[in-house]
Amino acid sequence: MFFSQLFSLIVLLVAQVRALSWTATPFNPPSIPLAVRTPYLSAWLPQGAGVALNDAWPTFWTGQILGWAGFVKVDGTAYSWLGAPSVPDATFTKATQKSFKFTATQSTFVLSAGPVDLTVNFLSPVEPTDLVKQSTPFSYLSVSASSTDGRAHSVQIYSDISAEWVSGDNGLVANWNTSSGTILTHQVQLASPTRYGEVNDHTQYGSAFYSTPNTGGATFQTGADVTVRAQFIQNGRLANTRDTNFRAISNNWPVFGLAHDLGSVTSGSVLFTVGHVRDPAIQYIVKGGALQDRSLFFWSRFSTTGDLITSFINDFSGALSRANAFDSKVNNDATKISADYASIVSLSIRQSLGSIEITIAKNSDGSWNTGDVIVFMKEISSDGNTNTVDVIFPAWPIFLYTNPQLGKFLLEGILRYQASGLYPNKWCVHDIGSSYPHATGHNDGRDEAMPVEESGNMVIMALSYAQKTGDNSHLTTYRSLLAQFTDFLITDSLIPANQISTDDFAGPLANQTNLAIKGIIGIKAMSVIASRLGDTNGANNYSSIAADYVTRWQGFAKSKTGPHLTLAYNNDASWGLSYNLYSDKLLKLNLFPQSIYDLQTAWYNTVSQQFGVPLDTRHTYTKSDWEIYTAGLVTSTSTRDLFISRVRSYAASGKNNVPLSDWYETTNGVSQGFRARPVVGGHLALLVL
């Protein structure tokens, strides 16, 4: 007993010492985004209480290792700066991490390697208004060396990736090749790819690319991890040789190395880019049931991946300055709420946008139809569904903030499918494919039914897009479908049947107070839609139904024993986050009376745990996206800030090591089953009110 307690104490102290051995700005998150751009280009550095860049391997969002190593030689001494390589035949030490910082688009580490400091910058561009750039599945890694003693030093910089980037099964055989023009590029792929396949959430087709400008002193090598890394550590350069013994990913671990000799310098930098390209990207069901192959938007500009990589590398300084401007804008906008809020928002952006892919298809003459864009989203971790309506809904604020067009293109894939008539139910479908990257629908109508949730979500998002942009085209095209969803809401939202809401992990429940709010807001939203389309009678009709429902809902929804709304009608002791009221604010409907907002605001103040207000009385866990939505609807700044600061405490708690989970325990700050989900885009909710 005593020894185990002592051991725990030592572990705790070591953890704290490690967390304190470098500065983390604004804080150390559960996992650090390194290269996060698509559901399949998603590399992270898990943290827990704090892990240096060269203390562990980067991982895929699932936690599976992605071999990604880095060494530097300074005056003949080798240091590792990335990953946790072991190289039996060579001697090196670890560079010492001094600082870490994240912004919306970048994760930056400073490590000291003898008399030189290395600044290692991982930039995953966020360019939602440029569909070519946003659809480019590549990320930058730039490494700058700078002398700390004023003298010039001999510096060589090395990095590699392994074949773990091309599959979720390391027993599969990969092959690879290297091109050496103005850019050195390694390309690696499975020997037997499976189109549209996944294993352990990794894609099973397409290629990974690792590149660097072929400037003076650049060298390359492919081969076994221990061979290639030892070659660099011993010689400061690679052998420019190709290993053509194609083999399994884990069979003498082939790696793809790139190195630069900067010579004797006081400062210098090198650039690497990593990416994963597959084509076609998405299989989509169209009217009549045929399956359409869709490709990433960037193909409308580039005909080869080589051209894409050249452009991406040449654009680095422009991309960096645009990223810095975007980071500043996000930080300035969010800091108007609070510094805590700005840190949560900055951490959420790459994760959320890393769930989407922007696609186009070909015309019959083989040209690209860039007028027909559909964006696809992988639900990630809670399920592998494609375009889950109640995952797009919580993420919606990030699209409103960065580019509402992307939101329209996300809805388009769902609305077009349902308008095709292939889906048999009258309510809005839950998703358009049970496993990404298939968007093949649910023609049997047996998707995960969330009838009020998804119908309300869709009408609300359709109106939100139109309000934000002034573009009514979606409302016009899908008017009858939206009216069909609204008819369902009129039937089932005042007294919602026993069903699940988006918080499906909590199980089904009848008469959910918060779900009724969503449905009633949906009806009112349809009134505004009718009005926008010139249908005054329809607008008045929907509006009077919604107003009548609000009155009757108050009779059902208020607890008779405590000053709060219930979780479910007739259960007076129950309560929960009534986060669906957020849409009343977002759409400026003024549908629910001020007294309801005041009631809930006062109540939440009294029931917060250390890391936030529980989702409802069934459990003490909560959802970070709904905490922030609720922060957006409460009527007092101090209550708003309570929600924000507790979410930040959770994110910075040091107790978690997965890409930020939206689902966590309010009593101890430990995350629950989810990770890396796009819904953290909902943390931008306060920026779009």
Ligand X SMILES: *[C@@H]1O[C@H](CO)[C@@H](O)[C@H](O)[C@H]1NC(C)=O
The residues binding ligand X (CB under 6 A) are 177, 179, 185, 187, 487, 490, 495, 510-511, 541, 556, 569-570
Q: Which is nearer to ligand X, 187 or 295 (CB)?
A: 187
* Closest distance of CB 150 from ligand X, Å: 41
Three-class DSSP category at 646? helix
CA distances from 313 to 125, 136, 582 (A): 12, 12, 42
Measured from the CB of residue 280, what is the shortest distance to ligand X in angstroms?
A: 17
| CA quadruple 81, 86, 92, 98: dihedral, nearest 10 | 30
> Which residue has the closest beta carbon to ligand X?
179
Place of tokens 């002791």: 573
Q: Which amino acid is at 521?
A: I
Nearest residue (CB) to ligand X, 33 versus 137: 137
Question: Least distance to ligand X from the beta carbon of 556, Å?
Answer: 5
- The one-letter amino acid at 367: S
Residue 195, judged by CB atoms within 10 A of its CB (0-12, 13-18, 19+), counts as middle
**Which C-beta is closer to ligand X: that of 242 or that of 585?**
242
Instruction: Please say whether the beta carbons of 283 and 197 come within 8 A.
Output: no
Residue type, 29: P
The amino acid that residue 451 corresponds to is P
Q: Which is nearer to ligand X, 249 or 658 (by Cβ)? A: 249
Shortest gap between Cβ of 527 and ligand X (angstroms)? 10
Return d(Cα 514, Cα 623) in angstroms, integer. Answer: 14
Angle at 43 between CA 41 and CA 47, to 5 degrees: 160
Count of CB atoms situated within 10 Å of the CB of 192: 11
Shortest distance (Å) from residue 510 CB to ligand X? 4
Q: Which residue has the tokens 């779900």?
A: 515
Report how far residue 476's alpha carbon sits from residue 597's, in angstroms, rounded to the nearest whole number: 33
Residue 534: DSSP 8-state: T
> Which residues, 6+ apart, have CB-to-CB distance to 109 below 8 Å?
52, 53, 81, 97, 99, 100, 119, 120, 121
Nearer to ligand X, 207 or 343 (CB): 207
How many other CB atoms sit within 10 Å of the CB of residue 41?
22
Q: Considering beta carbons, is residue 174 or 374 the nearer one to ligand X? A: 174
Q: Least distance (Å) from ligand X to the CB of residue 645? A: 36
Nearest CA-CA partner of 192 in 204, 176, 177? 204
> For tokens 């605001």, what's the residue?
601
* Cα end-to-end distance, the chain, whole Å: 54
Given the complex with ligand X, which of 358 and 546 has the nearer CB atom?
546
CB of 182 to ligand X, least distance (A): 13
Cβ atoms of 83 and 76 within 8 Å: the answer is no
Concatenate the DSSP letters of all residues of 233-284 into one string: HHHSS---B------BTTSS-EEEEEEEEEEEESEEEEEEEEEEE-SS-EEE
Shortest Å distance, C-beta 295 to ligand X: 17
| Shortest distance, position 600 Cβ to ligand X, whole Å | 20
Residue 43 or 509 having the CB closest to ligand X: 509
Which residue's CB is nearer to ligand X, number 374 or number 546?
546
Nearer to ligand X, 188 or 373 (CB): 188
Q: Which is nearer to ligand X, 187 or 574 (CB)?
A: 187
Q: How far is the CB of 624 from ligand X (least distance, A)?
A: 30
Pairing of strands 207-213, 218-224: unpaired
Instruction: Considering the complex, state which of residue 93 and residue 544 has its C-beta at the smaller distance from ligand X.
Output: 544
Q: How many whole angstroms from its chain centre is CA 110?
A: 25
Type of residue found at 482? L
Least distance between ligand X and beta carbon 480 (Å): 11
